[in-house]
Amino acid sequence: DAKTTQPPSMDCAEGRAANLPCNHSTISGNEYVYWYRQIHSQGPQYIIHGLKNNETNEMASLIITEDRKSSTLILPHATLRDTAVYYCIVRADNYGQNFVFGPGTRLSVLP
Amino acid sequence: GAVVSQHPSRVICKSGTSVKIECRSLDFQATTMFWYRQFPKQSLMLMATSNEGSKATYEQGVEKDKFLINHASLTLSTLTVTSAHPEDSSFYICSARGQGPYVAFFGQGTRLTVV
């Protein structure tokens, strides 16, 4: 079972920041937070991951609370192409361990 | 990021026939690959874990004789759906760990339709 809780859906205006929350209150000390997204009829796309520090890359920023029980994925300037299902996944650093997908958040970027 | 290529992207086959799906890691070696299945409006469900040079590990409820997995090299894993039936119609996705220690990359998926 997924170890995360996400809202089922969110809307965001084009050009505005999209803030996607994720609750992972049972996260363990050796577990990372990963974010992927899936655009319709495609495989999941890696976005970002982190352990406890905030992270930023060319796609997004990841803000992890100090207690690590929740995090927020931020898309700074959402575009229509960011419409997708976003998955927050908690996973230990184990090479053979798979990624368990929950239902995710369906983000709709509106013109 | 690393590239995982899946082929074919879409296939239609007749009931009772077999279909092979290939998953390749193009720019890295993957000792472990994963196969997922996704039904419409549902999330990805892990079917099996494929380890190079050894037998795959199947999740509970997944028939190993029906979904044959071969991981003969560090860059190629195949999933063969044998004696396919309409209920096997689904979106099949593979993934492989990248060169970094933590991130998995996914193929573009294969849409299988059994008629």
Q: How confident is the model at residue A58 (pLDDT cuts 50, 70, 90)?
A: very high
CB contact under 8 A, B6 and A43: yes
Mention every residue, 6+ apart, whose C-beta is less than 8 A from residue B63. Answer: none
d(CA A32, CA B103): 10
Interchain CB contact of A8 with B (< 8 Å): no
The order of strands in the sheet holding A45-50 is: A9-13, A105-110, A84-92, A31-38, A45-50
CA distance A96 to chain B (A): 7
CA distance B29 to chain A (A): 13
CB contact under 8 A, A96 and B51: yes
Bridge partners (DSSP) listed for residue A9: A106
Residue B100's pLDDT is 54
Average pLDDT over every residue of B79-93 = 97
Q: In this predicted model, what pLDDT tens digit does every residue of B28-73 receive, in sequence order?
A: 888 889 999 999 989 999 999 988 888 899 999 999 999 999 988 8
Q: Are the beta carbons of A77 and A106 closer than 8 angstroms?
A: no
d(CA B68, CA B109): 17
- Interface test with chain A among B97, B103, B108, by most A beta carbons within 10 Å: B103
| Alpha-carbon distances, residue B32 vs A36, A72, B86 (angstroms) | 19, 30, 29
Residue A82's pLDDT is 97
